Structure 1
Amino acid sequence: MEVAPELVVNWGLEKLRIEFAEQGTGSLEETTLKQLKERLKDITGVPINGQKLVFSGAIMKDETATLSSFGLQPFSKLILMGSKPNAKDLAQTTSGSSEEHALIARISQLVEKTKTNIIPQIESFETSVATYLSSENNDDTVKSKLAEAHHCIVETLMQSILTLDSVVCPPDFETARQKRREAVKFTQGLIDRVDEVKAQLSRQNQQNIILSNASL
């Protein structure tokens, strides 16, 4: 008796066996990652937006790609990361949808990542600029490094905004949409913050030029 092709999905302490057709519709060659996530949602209750599937140590990201394109073969083993939201979680959403809750969680994670990785860089930049402005050393090398630091921080923050914009929130997911707006506003505020510090450098440079010309 032939055994139908299947994938083994480890989810916490549970081991899920997902069967597929040998060929054609429903096979590994034609089933997309999105379709697999839909099946896993039906089985586990973990929302699609809250699922991360790991194969060979890498997170599978392209939901339009077929499972075979990831290198999956019959009896390959995957790890499912994600949890089913409870009633309290769903009460925090407008729609009562587990998918909206997953989007809210994703937005929160992006904001926390920005806070953890970028804010220390901003504080370091502010300290460096303050030190430079309070000294009589107008070393162009230091000034150039500060300008480069500003550019890197702003570029990273712009990427964060683009990532937030890529989080698609349906019209009825109003709580998620509001959280996304707040996250974008917060990130834009950080850009304004570093731009203002950079402006202090520019004003100092202008003052130095005026003083230099006046002494001629």
Structure 2
Amino acid sequence: MPVTVKWGNERRVTLPPPDTPLAAVRKSLAEYTHLPHNAFKLIHAGAVMKDDAAPVSAYNLRPNSTIALIGATDPRATLTHAPPQSHSERAIIDTIAAELHVVRASLAPDLTHFERDPTNHKEHLRLGELLLQSLLRLDSITAEPAWEDARKRRKDAVREVQDMLDRLDTIWASAQPTP
């Protein structure tokens, strides 16, 4: 069954038979993206596909469905045994840049698409949730007071994601009928 996987650019993939466990799909996508299998989330119709033992059919995928592959920017969010957080300014800047890359590559195009047709309530909820999750991840990044560059980049990243969230809410509000 052909589906679209959004990761950077959209990719068309064919899923294995419906009784195949999600773990096999995750492994295949990990090989394709060169990401560790536990370093990304799969999201379909606003829900995280987490049960790797469940068959693909449990996620109500249909031909031409879209799955968002969201790469984790904070390894502690997905690894069972988290490595110690790096305490260098460069590592913090790289973490911020990775989070922004994910937002720009996967959510910004979806927001632009939503702007053209702002009537899909599920898409509004999905985008709002994913942008909020990104804000929370950025908020969890701690930079030393002396690391002015890292603190500025974090502040700019938070502002950019918050602006996208505000834009989403403005688009949604303007599409609602006036009472």
| TM-score for both structures, normalised by structure 1 | 0.43
Which of 162, 182, 185 matches 2:136?
A: 162
Of 99, 110, 115, which aligns to 1:110?
A: 99
Partner of 2:82: 62
Kindly report the root-mean-square deviation, in angstroms, between the aligned alpha carbons of the 2 structures: 2.7
Q: Mapping of 1:71-82 within 5 angstroms?
A: none
Q: Which runs of 4+ in 1 moved over 4 A?
A: 58-61
Gaps of 5+ in 1: 1-51, 53-57, 65-97, 130-142, 210-216
1:200 maps onto 2:165 in alignment: no
How far 1:106 sits from its partner (Å)?
Answer: 1.1
Alignment correspondent of 1:183 = 157
Where in structure 2 are the equivalents of 1:27-66 lying within 5 Å?
Answer: 59=79, 61-63=81-83
CA distance in 2, matches of 1:190, 1:123: 10
With a CA cutoff of 8 Å and minimum separation of 6, indicate the structure with the bigger relative contact order: 2
2:149 paired with 1:121: no
Q: CA deviation at 1:63?
A: 3.9
1:61 Cα deviation after fit: 4.8
Alignment identity in percent?
A: 28
Matched residue SS, 2:89? helix
Alignment-mate amino acid for residue 146 of structure 2: D
Distance, in Å, in 2 between the alignment partners of 1:116 and 1:108 is: 12
**Residue ranges of structure 2 left out of the alignment (5+ in a row):** 1-74
In the TM superposition, residue 127 of structure 1 has moved relative to its aligned partner by 1.3
Distance in 2 of aligned mates of 1:148 and 1:105: 32
> Match for residue 76 of structure 1?
none
Letter in 1 for 2:172: K
SS in 2 for 1:191: helix
How far apart are 1:174 and its partner, in Å? Answer: 1.2
- State the alpha-carbon separation in 2 of the partners of residues 121 and 61 from structure 1: 33
More helix by percentage: 1
* CA distance in structure 2 between the partners assigned to 1:183 and 1:61 by the alignment: 28
1:105-150 C-alpha deviation (Å, 9 max, x unpaired): 1101110110001011111111123xxxxxxxxxxxxx4xx12211
How does the TM-score come out when normalised to structure 2?
Answer: 0.52
Look up the equivalent residue of 2:144 and give its one-letter code: P
